[in-house]
Amino acid sequence: MKIEIVETAPIEGQMPGTSGLRKKTRVFMEPKYLENFIQATFDAIGGGEGKTFVVGGDGRYFNTDAIQVIIKMAAGNGAAAVIVGQNGILSTPAASHLIRLNKADGGFILSASHNPGGIDEDFGVKYNAANGGPAPEGLTAKVFEATTSISHYKTIAADNVDLSRIGTTSHGGMSVQVVDPVSDYQNLMESLFDFGAIRALFADGFTMRFDAMHAVTGPYGSTILEDILGAPAGTVTNGIPLEDFGKGHPDPNPIWAKELMDLMMSDDAPDIGAASDGDGDRNMIVGRGVYVTPSDSLAILAANAHLAPAYADGLSGIARSMPTSAASDRVAAKLGIDAYETPTGWKFFGNLLDAGKVTICGEESAGTGSSHVREKDGLWAVLLWLNILAVRKQSVSEIVEDHWKTYGRDYYSRYDFEAVATDKANDMMQNLRGKFSQLAGQTFAGLTVTTADEFSYLDPVDGSVSDNQGLRIAFEGGGRAVFRLSGTGTQGATVRLYLEQYSGLNGDTNQDTQAALQSVRSAAFEISDMKAIIGRIEPDVIT
């Protein structure tokens, strides 16, 4: 089939962020917008000739249309094969696994993760490399550079591929394999966990509610939790992926998963509640009457991972993003293994995982994962929790409380200030940055500053340096405040303020979180001049 060369011109603003390119859906639907970015990606990786790619997404609006464009462009760029999830569905961790399993050259994942979906909401595309992980900064820089000089893109004129039928067809001389999106991922999970012990847990009357949020993990949760592990029918709720996520916000946190949270705090609560996000890479864990923060969940999973078969021989190391609490560092110290602090963005864990320096890693934004793939993995975290519960035969709250008794408690919260005028957000960060040289030793809200700096990361594997990764202020007594501008929004700026206060080994672990953080919060507001500069100190979301 003849390759078509279509003339085009650069389109401004196609700079990939920490998780690819995210814009409003209507922007991606504009003529040549998606095509330009996909061609720039092919150009940045040295072309598509003879290569194999995995393609799939979270089912949001424009997902299947974008997949058809990518398939035709892959053929136009000389690719040998494309592997695509049935009906265009692939969770992000499942896509990572398929790339690794099939030794593919990379993959295109279509998602805006936890952002809302719909024609008037958000869409995104990111490229994952041959290791199954998000493209490193060097590659995303090449993609952006290519978007600024693009003059044409390559495609073929052909009918759309029938994504509903599993099987292999030829498309413009390229093999297109439509696969069951769940089966290979299910096999991977069975190789990691003691499914027999989890089946026995459910057979003994253990109860669970898994909210798939009308997002991609619905089919995965229904198959693995209900069909394979024997959880009662109805354990998985909101399990059918919808283009607009049922007009919900597919972000697994106490704000957007309110129905689940209300249930878990009621007298009718099941033994565990869990949720996952739009593309299946995030998770929320809730016990009866207890919300497990992502930072605590990471630490607890790391401390108990040896109870699952895949991790029985121990961990090589633990990594966390800089804004994540230090709870997992304390686990690493007790286990006698290395702890790593990286910038936000899963791609920074890739080198550590590939080099065998860490086994488990996680972020405060509800992402946890391990060396089984090169993405965070929401359902993996839920299954590891179930494996731990099956072996320890304790409740979620008992396990959490035991952890705090052993390690102390890191009180933790994140404040999101959304849609802040970009110039004001930048002014606040610049103002704060300018104070750092004189903050040490000063007292604010009764807390004395010990250090203040801008986080810079030296990758221990390849020696690359990532600067400007967040502003950190540490206080005497184990308090910390971190300021970052998020790269996951699609309008204005999202200012994120992370607050942390360590209880100490023998301190009070039963305080209300916001009460425990009051002094750190007040000090952070005072030092940053947040109210004066952006006009707000009331966040849109507290997690």
Active site residues: 113
Distances (CA, A) of 414 to 61, 191, 496: 29, 35, 7
Task: Please state, in angstroms and rounded to a whole number, the distance separating the CA atoms of residues 467 and 176.
Answer: 41
Coil, strand or helix at 448: strand
CA angle 80, 86, 88 (to 5 degrees): 80
- Amino acid letter, 364: E
> What phi, psi does 346 have (nearest 5°)?
-65, -25
283-287 and 290-292 beta bridge pairing: antiparallel
CA angle 370, 97, 311 (to 5 degrees): 30
Task: Please state, in angstroms and rounded to a whole number, the distance separating the CA atoms of residues 23 and 44.
Answer: 21
Tokens of 188: 């991977």
Coil, strand or helix at 494: strand
317-321 and 283-287 beta bridge pairing: unpaired
Q: Which of 381, 389, 330 is nearest to 360 (CA)?
A: 381
- Amino acid letter, 60: R
Task: Please state, in angstroms and rounded to a whole number, the distance separating the CA atoms of residues 491 and 380.
Answer: 31
Task: Please state, in angstroms and rounded to a whole number, the distance separating the CA atoms of residues 148 and 127.
Answer: 18
Q: Which of 441, 401, 155 is nearest to 300 (CA)?
A: 401
DSSP-assigned states of every residue in 58-115? ---TTHHHHHHHHHHHHHHTT-SEEEEEEEEE--HHHHHHHHHHTT-SEEEEE--TTS
Task: Please state, in angstroms and rounded to a whole number, the distance separating the CA atoms of residues 275 and 268.
Answer: 18
Output Rg (C-alpha) for the chain, integer angstroms: 23
Q: Which of 137, 126, 117 is nearest to 246 (CA)?
A: 117
Tokens of 161: 């591929």
DSSP structure class, residue 292: E
CB of 526 closer than 8 Å to CB of 444: yes
CA neighbours within 13 Å on the CB side: how many for 383? Answer: 29
Task: Please state, in angstroms and rounded to a whole number, the distance separating the CA atoms of residues 115 and 20.
Answer: 13
Task: Please state, in angstroms and rounded to a whole number, the distance separating the CA atoms of residues 343 and 468.
Answer: 9
| CA 392 to chain centroid | 28
CB of 250 closer than 8 Å to CB of 282: no
